Structure 1
């Protein structure tokens, strides 16, 4: 059975011509998690011609409360491939490309340049700024969203409309880990779903060239009191210049920082000093050997840290520890980050 777009085509701003335009559109979606699930479902249902999914993560059972595209039986499988299979069932007429790899400096510009629109559904600041820089350099529109517990924010970048990019609002890329991701800070399942649906609406408006498309504004949403706030997002002087897009600098080789361990005893055997960057509440729930120093405290007191030992930084998922390791490496310390954090070490998602 062929997909039926009659309810959508009936809208006077879309019609048959708009539907044909969607069928010719190519959209890149970075991240197939809490934001990416609704984005992909709605764009596939709307008949967007090609959806390219980039995600290097595999499904964990703890993802399911906010990622309805997947099933418990899929745990451990690559999200990008799972998403591709699910979208083929939603709309066989949509072409889907999957990349089970990290979105990084090596592939960012090529991926972005090959599509009409890029949608940021990532869960970390480094990827968001990589998407931003690639979109700016390739003159492609982008829809960004971030989620924190019960809140979210959305921004649209359209170079041809003179919109502000992420760096116009935040000139220096925010350090990952200072704000927890879903695994660390928690999130109410429908919140990323609602934000993802909003991203899908904006994506369709951009592809069809209808609506206001959040022109020059940053939308803040708080679902605890259902309040919204629009802030003007002024474009910074020099936006779009190569010097303001630090795409290579944001993707330094982390392979020399991260390390896989079977137990923390391996680090102690090597004479490394373990620094636990988790919050006091996280530590109370599961204690480990080593010193406890929350990430914000560590970065604020780097000068007082002894320079002699090699430090193994540990957190729940490895994201805070990796971000902190980058900063300590810049300061000249010998440092490693536990890949995947305690969740991987103890086999939990």
Structure 2
């Protein structure tokens, strides 16, 4: 039985009650519904705000991080007074101010194969606001096995994407679109490539809209339709996604029978290989100040290099690095850096695989360099 609406509910959601397809019954459905948001970052913030404002009765939030000042440009649940404090506490305070009657479940932990099913099981819809591939695979896989709609979103600089993955409703899954986990560092994160602050507000709001449609049972669910937004061109377009008969998860002959698989387990091992030869930013500075005679290579993108660079470095973007290996001298020391150390780790590994021996990765990249006194 659906819960009744209180007098406060009728006042608060009066504009919803006027809408055919929502009305009192729809508002009661929202009050009885539940949504899990994985991440309270750029996508999760606007999605959580609109879901709470719409009257969704129970919202789960998963996020182990604390608020960083660099988050405030786009993560609109958080404010200056919350810098350094847990994101979940900041998010809960804002959501309860917006909608005092919302029931919040807070999970201040990583979403991993060990806890994903237990966390996701009680919710009607899963909204994926993650920013890394292993957790997206995990979000997809747990949604598949629990038969929950997965509202997917992603952002990059000026571009965003959104769709609903739900094989149990007849649509494809995330693995139909991306069958394999990209190599670590192959695709820069928002921390590395940047993102316009308004963009996640647009995509996260679209995710909230699709979650609400699913909960109400109205409209057309975009199964097999990937909405792509280009902010610079002010344009939306739709790409068709098809169910892949060869998909390892939802295809005709699936080989994945658990959320514990190579793609999802990568979420605990996606950092740099600790066995790679490395040098700290502090040691790099000492070497440069004392007359370094080797080569310092920056593998970031040209626009990143133009914005900030380490004096004496030369630019070889990671995308063209393998083609440039033979141009690098084997008789000189080569130090490689990027923004945080992940892309440069890939370049170091490529040189080691090619037979280079005197190669070091700059731990922490230019981020660590810029923090030096």
TM bin (shorter chain):
0.7 to 0.9
Give the secondary structure class of the aligned counterpart of 2:84: coil
**Pick aligned residue for 1:56 from 61, 64, 76:** 64
2:83 pairs with 1:75: yes
Given that 1:258 and 1:322 are in contact with CA atoms closer than 8 Å, whether structure 2 keeps it comes out as no
Given that 1:29 and 1:36 are in contact with CA atoms closer than 8 Å, whether structure 2 keeps it comes out as yes
Given that 1:257 and 1:325 are in contact with CA atoms closer than 8 Å, whether structure 2 keeps it comes out as no
Pair 1:203–1:249, CA change in 2 (3 A): same
Q: CA deviation at 1:152?
A: 0.9
Aligned to 2:292: none
CA distance in 2, matches of 1:206, 1:138: 16
CA distance in 1, matches of 2:360, 2:84: 26
Q: CA deviation at 1:35?
A: 1.1
Aligned to 1:27: 35
Pair 1:266–1:185, CA change in 2 (3 A): closer
CA distance in 2, matches of 1:65, 1:96: 25
Pair 1:48–1:296, CA change in 2 (3 A): same
2:283 pairs with 1:277: no
Pair 1:169–1:211, CA change in 2 (3 A): same
Aligned to 2:232: 224
Q: How does 1:139-288 map to 2 (within 5 A)?
A: 139-175=147-183, 177-237=185-245, 238=247, 239-240=249-250, 241-243=254-256, 246-254=262-270, 257=273, 263-265=281-283, 276-284=298-306, 285-287=308-310
> Which 10-residue stretch deviates more, 209-218 or 68-77?
68-77
Pair 1:99–1:301, CA change in 2 (3 A): farther
Aligned to 1:315: 338
Give the secondary structure class of the aligned counterpart of 1:213: coil
Pair 1:230–1:101, CA change in 2 (3 A): same
Q: Give the TM-score of the pair, scaled to structure 2.
A: 0.77
CA distance in 2, matches of 1:190, 1:160: 33
Deviations 1:216-271 (A, max 9, x none): 211111122222211221101154235286444433535783699974418999xx
Aligned residues: 346
CA distance in 1, matches of 2:134, 2:312: 30
Give the secondary structure class of the aligned counterpart of 1:145: strand
Q: CA deviation at 1:168?
A: 0.6
- Which runs of no fewer than 5 residues in structure 1 stay unpaired? none
Aligned-residue Cα RMSD (Å) equals: 3.9
Deviations 1:20-71 (A, max 9, x none): 2222222111121111111010011111122111123322222222222221
Give the secondary structure class of the aligned counterpart of 1:243: coil
- Rg larger in structure: 2
Given that 2:68 and 2:83 are in contact with CA atoms closer than 8 Å, whether structure 1 keeps it comes out as yes
Q: Give the TM-score of the pair, scaled to structure 1.
A: 0.81
2:367 pairs with 1:343: yes
Given that 2:57 and 2:103 are in contact with CA atoms closer than 8 Å, whether structure 1 keeps it comes out as yes
CA distance in 2, matches of 1:299, 1:172: 21
CA distance in 2, matches of 1:54, 1:267: 39
CA distance in 1, matches of 2:62, 2:335: 30
Q: How does 1:115-126 map to 2 (within 5 A)?
A: 115-126=123-134
Pair 1:263–1:197, CA change in 2 (3 A): same
